[in-house]
Amino acid sequence: MGIIEKMRLDGRSIFVTGGARGIGKSVATAFAEAGADLAIVDVDIEEAKKTAAELAEKNNVKTIAIKTDVTDPVQVDAMVKEVVDTYGKLDAAFCNAGICINVSAEEMTFEQWKKVIDINLTGVFLTAQAAGKQMLKQGKGSIINTASMSGHIVNVPQPQCAYNASKAGVIQLTKSMAVEWAKKGVRVNCISPGYIGTDLINSDENLKPLIEKWNAMAPMGRLGKPEELQAVCVYLAGDASSFTTGSDFVVDGAFTCF
């Protein structure tokens, strides 16, 4: 099989958490374009349904939308069951749902801290664990977690200690799962995006001063685009990455190089 064929995902079943918009939608689009059948998983079920319908129509693939709170293990297990009941298997999982709350460490409430950790770290654990259980039964599968360059550096000028801690945790969680499952056919990797110009970020007037500061610090002088994360995720989801596990792919335009 040639490299082009190895990058195809025809007949693969993949779920994407936080898949209704932003990075999740962009990567789900790439999976669909590569031929995968998808489950768009999000707390916003109406937007998830729109995204699922759009991808099915444009790419002639099967899609479903599932409302899931990734911090609830019962809902997560039910989501994976629905994916397997629908498609008969689970080939890859993009555990991507996340949030950020910018509050200084001394002013952050316990509730704010817990919300970020619950969604960004515990949510990734629960979805990756549930996916891993199914993949271990199958003897094969690929899990992709969304970490962040914030797991490597302390972002400035915004205060985001909970976010940084959660994303550093995702990187180590990824490596730990990868080692545990390496001989069992299940691969686990993560991506660490830099600042990505999603529609939500670009449309937020309050973020414009921050974006100007980020771009001034960035070697490439700009935000990344959601579609610039697509290729690495398609690579990780398919057979081309069969010897790749426990890796963290930093896609940040060299932001963390200094």
Angstrom distance (rounded) from CA 190 to CA 143 = 8
Q: Which residues contact 21 (CB under 8 A, 6 or more apart)?
A: 42, 44, 47, 51, 198, 199, 200
Please name the residues in contact with 103: beta carbons below 8 A apart, sequence gap of 6 or more. Answer: 109, 112, 159, 160
- Which amino acid is it at 88? G
Q: Which of 149, 155, 225 is nearest to 193 (CA)?
A: 149
Taking the C-alpha atoms of residue 77 and residue 41, their distance in angstroms, rounded to an integer, is 12
SS3 content of the chain, % helix, strand, coil (to 5): 55, 15, 30
CA-closest candidate to residue 81, choices 69, 66, 62, 98: 66
Distance of alpha carbon 85 from the chain centroid = 23
Can you read off the two tokens belonging to residue 155?
């972002």
> What CA–CA distance (Å, rounded) separates 126 from 131?
8
**What tokens were used for 206?**
């309050």
Q: Enumerate the active-site residues.
A: 148, 163, 167
